[in-house]
Structure 1
Amino acid sequence: MKLPSLVDFRSPRVLPAVILLIGFVERVIFLALQGVQHALGEAENVALSVARDGSIADVFARGSGLTAHVNPVLPSLAGSVYRVFGVQSALSEWILALLSISTVLAAGAVFCRAAGVAGIPRPARLGALAIFALLPISPDLETISFRVWEGGLASLLGATVLLLALRADKAAALRYSHILVLSLTAAFLFFINPALGLAAYGVVGLLLLRRAHPRTWIGHGAIVVAVLAAVLTPWTIRNYEVFGRIMPLRGNFGLELAVGNHPAAMHPGQREAFVERLQTIHPLENQAAFDRMQAMGGEIPYAQAMGEEAKAWIHAHPGDFAQLCVRHAAQYYFPPRWQWNIYTGQISKSVLVRQPLLWTISALGLIGAFAALFAWRTRMLYLATLAVVPVLPYIITQPVPRYRYIVLLPLLFLGADFAYRLLRRLRPDRSALS
């Protein structure tokens, strides 16, 4: 007598849910083994400021004043949790960690659903989701850093933009309501993470080119612009009132440009040059730099001065700058070993596995992306846009692991699709692959 199964693994939703559940448990175990920790960096400092007095401030140290250096959303959320459950208490950190893990895995779930709408076969989708959920590619980011940094939330919003665009592409007719909902999601994503937000607007533009009649472009474009303006206006007004400048996003670009472009960056010892540069000009890393920033009138004048210094060097050394741009683009997709632990320089044994895994994902994903752009020209174009556009701002700055997380999902699913197509060609007789 055959007993009824409590779980039907043939259901299209059960196996992905099981994969995600195992991934959730894995991350919780990883976190438990690490012990109670809190995130580091500028965003954590702002979260502490929010917890103290509700201000978006003190990004470099207590007393550095109001800031536009980081996006305020995640630090505000973390600061609110701190105010209720204790500043950097075990309970607060577990709440934030579980939120971070849930956000990351929700991004994987939504992206998997979108990949199905795009036409990626189920075996390839499940394989990509399993790699994302079960293999420890970036556990420290997903369980610790993304409590206050935006990578997990940005990935979820990017996946949502993709799913909305693909469903609109498949609809019988493209409606203004499609563009309105897409515009709201893309605008919030652009505010959270401009690099992935830029890719989201590329997705919206691609949808209009594919499905909208040219006579409707002005109307659709007006919706996109109006929604973006509405989303950015409150933060822009706040920054104008605080700093006397129109800043719809952040005020740190000049500093980031200076960190990535300077004479020592051309030297072979890239880790040492990068760390030394941070410890020389970054106010979070160097007390003298912090004092200079305060003497110049705060973070905005200081970042602008650093940016002007970097631009002068770029203008005087265009060849070196071009070489750095190529290197930055390559490092964004294929991070060198030193970037896995920038400050200590000690490479753990796990990196010996994680680095080649990430390089393989990037290689297959980029092949799939360019195949979609230049050969297939199917709905996979939307995934390709999310995979290749976010690198653009980081070509002229120094990418680090947290910056590249936002392209992990599109590269992973594009790579899985490409590998599956290749396997089907090599083993066409295998019905199990169909």
Structure 2
Amino acid sequence: MITRLARWMRGDEADTRLPWRIFWAAFLVRVLYITLAHTYRFRLTDEHFQFGWEAGRIARALATGHGYADPFGNSFAGHTGATAWLPPLYPLLIAGVFKLFGVYTAASAWVLLVINSALSAATVLAIWEIAVRCFSRRNAVWSAWLWALYPAAMQYAVRWIWEMTLTTAVFAWVIVLALRMRDVDRHSRYATESDSRLTLLWAIFGLMWGAIALSNSTLLLFLPVCGLWILIGTWGRPHALRNAVLGGLVFLASIAPWEARNFHVFDTFIPLRGNLGAELYMGNGPGSNGFLITYEHPNESPNQFRLYAELGEVRYVRMRGELAKAYIRAHPAHFVKDSLKRTYFFWFGVPSVSPWSVEIPRMLNFGFITLAGLMGLGLALHRRIPGAGMMAWAFLLLPISYYLVTAGARFRHPLEPLMTILGVYLFQSATPRYRDTKSESGMASPMAR
């Protein structure tokens, strides 16, 4: 029985259905957990604020006819007006579910977590293709099953109504798209993209980056490098520059309605989200110690909420940003110290007040995944694995904003599909492998599997 299950999970070289088998396993495990563990039942305190936090509040305003507004407070605090505190993609998704299944209802929570689960399961398919193109089918099998079944990989899908799962899925597929466009394929398992299809893929590339920008704009630091990496690798193909320009135009067109709305509403340019100044103060203002000063958050502090409501979002954020910059200028060593702490938190976990019996295993698990992923990346760079350079740029650029402003465990999630693949690569590289004729051509022998 165990042998049969192992064969089912491993498949064989000719089994093209295995990635989809893992996808459905990942999806069903997540949905069963949501349903049986009742994770869709959020606390009623503070009028369901833990149901999506600011995104949930904005979605409530949208669903009740008040527009994209009111990211804080409760029903007794009144309306604070239009907002650009968050990019619109995930709040709009929540609002659509609210319209169909009710505001802050258990049914809405279940549906949203199931959508998260579908996105997390779709990441399995992206992980599979990245691993097959850059490493091996053996790596793909282990990486995909780890993502499907490892509890840490599914936690945000089954417990959090926030954008991490959406952003991670789209980002993983952007990596797949880049590898396809560069024709990275170590074992010639995929057909080369035609010139006409390459034009289409550039348009999809721009559209997917638009979705990332409207979900979590912090990841945009990687966009220029990713685009240049593709362009350099396709420069010899017909219309290479024209196609790259097309991708850029599609990206700009996808974010243009949001930018136009913000300029119309606030009479100023807001680069995708309008809360940077406030976040900068809560991360680096007086009393900062590497953690976010949540007691200065408008949702936690009645004084800050009143100030936010009186000044309006743009003036409030600008004022807080100026205070933060003044404090950083006056205390540069303190800012550097806090940034180093946040760097550590990003890669090795943010300490919490949980009991040591919970906290120590959590921190060890978080740090182990980081070390395995980074060491796997170093090995891939040393061995000149195709695509490893692009992955290295992602690891370098994506965390920068978090080092400077705030850090949380969830911010690392978009990198975790790559960390899973690279960690598996590290350990598989350390395992003695017995090769035969097939393994030399990229097909692992039965003993290597």
With the shorter chain as reference, the TM-score category is 0.7 to 0.9
Match of 1:289 in 2: 304
Are positions 1:60 and 2:77 aligned together? no
Where in structure 2 are the equivalents of 1:140-289 lying within 5 Å?
140-145=155-160, 147=161, 149-170=162-183, 171=192, 175-213=198-236, 218-266=241-289, 274=292, 277-279=293-295, 281-289=296-304
Unpaired runs of at least 5, structure 2: 43-50, 184-191, 437-443
Output the amino acid matched with 1:183. Answer: G
Output the amino acid matched with 2:85. Answer: H
Match of 2:41 in 1: 37
Output the amino acid matched with 1:33. Answer: A
Match of 2:96 in 1: 80
Match of 1:323 in 2: 337
Q: Report the alpha carbon displacement of residue 218 of structure 1 after superposing the two structures with TM.
A: 5.0
Output the amino acid matched with 1:57. Answer: A
Q: Report the alpha carbon displacement of residue 206 of structure 1 after superposing the two structures with TM.
A: 1.0
Separation of aligned partners in 2, 1:116 and 1:214: 24
Q: Report the alpha carbon displacement of residue 292 of structure 1 after superposing the two structures with TM.
A: 1.3
Match of 2:422 in 1: 414
Match of 1:313 in 2: 327
Bigger proportion of residues as helix: 1
Are positions 1:360 and 2:364 aligned together? no
Are positions 1:107 and 2:130 aligned together? no
**C-alpha contact 1:387 1:410 (8 A) present in aligned 2:** no
- Figure out how many residues of one structure are paired with residues of the other and give that number: 412
Q: Report the alpha carbon displacement of residue 52 of structure 1 after superposing the two structures with TM.
A: 0.8
C-alpha change, 1:54 and 1:348, in structure 2 (3 Å) is farther
Separation of aligned partners in 2, 1:207 and 1:139: 30
Match of 1:132 among 142, 147, 153: 147
Output the amino acid matched with 1:121. Answer: S
Deviation per residue, 1:97-133 (Å, 9 max, x gap): 1111111111222222222122x22222222222222
**C-alpha contact 1:239 1:246 (8 A) present in aligned 2:** yes
Output the amino acid matched with 1:84. Answer: L
Query: TM-score, normalising length from structure 2?
Result: 0.83
Out of 372-381 and 134-143, give the one that drifted further: 372-381
Deviation per residue, 1:397-425 (Å, 9 max, x gap): 11112222111111111221122123247
**C-alpha contact 2:148 2:154 (8 A) present in aligned 1:** no
Deviation per residue, 1:379-405 (Å, 9 max, x gap): 233333333321121111111122221
How much is the aligned-residue C-alpha RMSD, in angstroms?
2.9
Q: Report the alpha carbon displacement of residue 26 of structure 1 after superposing the two structures with TM.
A: 3.0
Q: Report the alpha carbon displacement of residue 244 of structure 1 after superposing the two structures with TM.
A: 0.8
Unpaired runs of at least 5, structure 1: 339-344
Separation of aligned partners in 1, 2:177 and 2:319: 41
Q: Report the alpha carbon displacement of residue 253 of structure 1 after superposing the two structures with TM.
A: 0.7
Q: Report the alpha carbon displacement of residue 179 of structure 1 after superposing the two structures with TM.
A: 2.3
Match of 1:25 in 2: 28
C-alpha change, 1:374 and 1:63, in structure 2 (3 Å) is farther
Q: Report the alpha carbon displacement of residue 375 of structure 1 after superposing the two structures with TM.
A: 5.2
Separation of aligned partners in 1, 2:205 and 2:112: 28
C-alpha change, 1:57 and 1:330, in structure 2 (3 Å) is same
Separation of aligned partners in 2, 1:172 and 1:13: 20
Deviation per residue, 1:117-163 (Å, 9 max, x gap): 22x22222222222222121154421232x3x221111111122111
Deviation per residue, 1:3-26 (Å, 9 max, x gap): x99979335444444444333333
Separation of aligned partners in 2, 1:18 and 1:353: 31
**C-alpha contact 1:361 1:411 (8 A) present in aligned 2:** yes
Where in structure 2 are the equivalents of 1:389-428 lying within 5 Å?
389-424=397-432
**C-alpha contact 1:158 1:200 (8 A) present in aligned 2:** no
Deviation per residue, 1:167-197 (Å, 9 max, x gap): 1111377644332222222232223222333
Separation of aligned partners in 2, 1:237 and 1:28: 38
Out of 231-240 and 313-322, give the one that drifted further: 313-322
